[in-house]
Structure 1
């Protein structure tokens, strides 16, 4: 029996033009400024270690997907089960919006930044131009997507009736290693919605920027996780606009699952599902992508963490704060700082920071950062700094009311100051300077500063 299903979950908005704004974080995509869901779920933190992989295929079982620059090179040949042909282009817009939420290229100054920048998209058209379709076509689409090697299958569609046909198709996809992610529906009720309510399917509800449930989002114990329910997206023309509903939250979770699937070693669908569900924020159920990454098994992980020095000058003195950035697909266990081969400190929590006492010596000191991930993989970066803790040498000569200052320092002289009666009257650059001292001067000093910030004070009182 063919059961009709409302493909476009009620509440999913059409595209509305949005102004391009400068992104407050790294991705330079014009729509990124409005992607509050990325920061809410800490996807931007996860990007520091994993941004997807071309080996991961995410199937969009929807109204089709139209080619866009933001999907260039990653949109696979699809299938149209609604019209029974091989043209899976989008004649509605809904599926393209879902695909861009999942995998629009990031930091390319185009469109938005999808959750999984390098994942490939498999378009599977099961809904017609009006967003309607049948359980039969959806089941066929699920099976075909699984046969094409999809790691994740995203379904922003559903109906109120359970169906053995859908259950069998979901079970088939799972035997092929796919994780099926589906929308919980937008009626604001606790009534089960299918295929999301099938126990092995990852059912997704929608939450606001504050983490509370949208009134329109279906809810209940059968809903496994929640995700941002309104996200900027691109339609078939590339226009950026708001895309709201559990139809939008679902591809967001599918993109997050794609990130997890991109890690080393490649996790199973069950491991991805478990990681997303067990690390969700309570009581909202909102996904936390870095926490889910850390929850994945690490046995077999051979990927070293990324580590880098924070801003530190080439010339330092005294007590110096050294900062570091470190990231790993499964989490950083610890970061250590060595100076001159000596362990200075160990930090296990970001932001990583170390206090190093460079005094009293003056020398070039090799610094080394060592970052270990949870599996024990080690990454090392090195740099050298010049520690200067010795003040400049100042020699003064007098000639009448003229004071001649000659200054020497191994790191270079930054400036000289003439201090008359306790007040700085002249500042000059360079190691040699001639100062005229006022006749009524009661006290005269020359202060010399080197490039490291060390200071030497020399007294130079001149007689009348």
Structure 2
């Protein structure tokens, strides 16, 4: 039996930009809180997501992460894409982020297993789809993404889905694009996570199938890359499905590795109550924490080596299951605790002058702790400054443990000379009414001495 795709791009066409397009608006990532999830994980190369579709073409955005696959249409091992649909699905899942190329997929580090079961026109058989599901399961796919389907139930598909489940794979499939409540297969099968499509406001797209059998929804229009690398809009439940598959890949990337059932439960339990929209960040936090021994990432933000007065200390922290709190210690004393990113602390360094050990303590939700240390010099004391006058000259000598930033000669209220040296001989103007010398240390402390004294 031949079956058609769940849906290509809206209206059967795709508007494309140049292959080198670097900046693409992707509001769906924010809408489904994928950007929040990225603070916890951006995927793992140990996670394989199978794309069972028209094949997947090699692109720079998938470089090093596109595995050898299988073509069940032409019965060979060349799973390249002769339609475009499968490549677009793969880039929604796993296009590399932060490389100024194409788009950012949901799971940056996940690997893609291409399985071609649909021909160049987008047609295919339940037999080939079932074979493709089994093939993906046998090759260790944690997630199997199917942006395809038909209106008829099938024992072949049921058996293949059950087999994939027995191998530990989560099967994700498109709900279909007829705008009806009638079941669409394999999405409506037990054990399959059926995905519908919603608008940027969370409303159901009129073309998206619906019903109690649709477990979750995702943004129904997303930018994607075709086989040439060109970027364009990709709409339909065919687009929403790989989006969810990418989110599932993020969840599968955590340690200890969750089961397919745990991933499904987390996705369903944290979906929006009204639209069933997936919430990637909340789903990650909903995974079981038992057995998590991975310490969170922690790092100081930009911080000067010499500081004075009130200092803002920033920190970066991330964890696969979420950070519970970040603490700043100075000289062994707790300064403050922050529980929400971006992490920032106000530390009053005065009246200290000298080396101060700083310490960041980052705890994840399981209680795993990472400690990072840095030493800064607190300088809240003005530099020493001595002047020696001789005729129309004044020699200034400054000293400070942090170093001298500059010396300034101020005549009649205006700076008339500067020096970055710690010692400098200044010549005084003949008509100088007021003369002072300022010494500024590297921390910004200032010492002022009357230039007409001291000699």
**TM-score, structure 2 normalization:** 0.89
Give the C-alpha shift of residue 48 in structure 1: 4.4
Q: Equivalent of 1:368, from 359, 366, 377?
A: 359
Q: Equivalent of 1:195, from 181, 186, 192?
A: 186
2:396 is matched with 405
Q: Equivalent of 1:94, from 65, 81, 85?
A: 85
Q: Equivalent of 2:240, from 244, 249, 261?
A: 249
- Alpha carbons 2:24, 2:223 under 8 Å: kept: no
- Alpha carbons 1:10, 1:187 under 8 Å: kept: no
Could you give the per-residue CA deviations for residues 140-161 of structure 1, whole angstroms, max 9, x where no partner exists? 3323322333211101012233
- Alpha carbons 2:44, 2:253 under 8 Å: kept: yes
Range with bigger deviation, 416-425 or 355-364: 416-425
- Alpha carbons 2:296, 2:318 under 8 Å: kept: yes
Could you give the per-residue CA deviations for residues 87-139 of structure 1, whole angstroms, max 9, x where no partner exists? 43322121122122222344455544332233232222222221122333323
Q: Does 1:176 find its partner at 2:175?
A: no
1:230 is matched with 221
Give the paired residue count: 453
Q: Does 1:378 find its partner at 2:369?
A: yes
Question: In structure 1, the residue corresponding to 2:17 is in which secondary structure?
Answer: coil
Q: Equivalent of 1:446, from 417, 437, 444?
A: 437
1:26 is matched with none
Alpha-carbon distance change, 93 to 20 in structure 1, aligned in 2, over 3 angstroms:
closer
Q: Equivalent of 1:37, from 28, 37, 48?
A: 28
Give the C-alpha shift of residue 429 in structure 1: 2.9
Give the C-alpha shift of residue 316 in structure 1: 0.5
1:65 is matched with 56
2:423 is matched with 432
Structure 1 residues not aligned, in runs of 5+ = 22-29
Q: Equivalent of 1:6, from 4, 8, 25?
A: 4
What are the within-5 Å matches in structure 2 for residues 42-441 of structure 1?
A: 42-108=33-99, 110-438=101-429, 441=432
Q: Distance in 2 between matches of 1:461 and 1:211?
A: 75
- Alpha carbons 1:207, 1:227 under 8 Å: kept: yes
Range with bigger deviation, 385-394 or 335-344: 335-344
Q: Distance in 2 between matches of 1:190 and 1:424?
A: 80
Q: Distance in 2 between matches of 1:436 and 1:287?
A: 73
Give the C-alpha shift of residue 418 in structure 1: 3.3
Give the C-alpha shift of residue 179 in structure 1: 0.9
1:18 is matched with 17
- Alpha carbons 1:368, 1:383 under 8 Å: kept: yes
- Alpha carbons 1:10, 1:186 under 8 Å: kept: no
Q: Distance in 2 between matches of 1:317 and 1:170?
A: 64
Question: In structure 2, the residue corresponding to 1:33 is in which secondary structure?
Answer: coil
Alpha-carbon distance change, 138 to 447 in structure 1, aligned in 2, over 3 angstroms:
same
Could you give the per-residue CA deviations for residues 227-255 of structure 1, whole angstroms, max 9, x where no partner exists? 23233323333333332222112111111
- Alpha carbons 2:26, 2:222 under 8 Å: kept: yes
Q: What's the C-alpha RMSD, in Å, of the aligned pairs? A: 2.8
- Alpha carbons 1:339, 1:366 under 8 Å: kept: yes
Alpha-carbon distance change, 461 to 31 in structure 1, aligned in 2, over 3 angstroms:
closer
- Alpha carbons 2:361, 2:371 under 8 Å: kept: yes
- Alpha carbons 2:313, 2:345 under 8 Å: kept: yes
Alpha-carbon distance change, 31 to 401 in structure 1, aligned in 2, over 3 angstroms:
closer
Question: In structure 1, the residue corresponding to 2:24 is in which secondary structure?
Answer: helix
Q: Distance in 2 between matches of 1:85 and 1:431?
A: 77
- Alpha carbons 2:9, 2:234 under 8 Å: kept: no
Q: Distance in 2 between matches of 1:436 and 1:291?
A: 69
**TM-score, structure 1 normalization:** 0.88
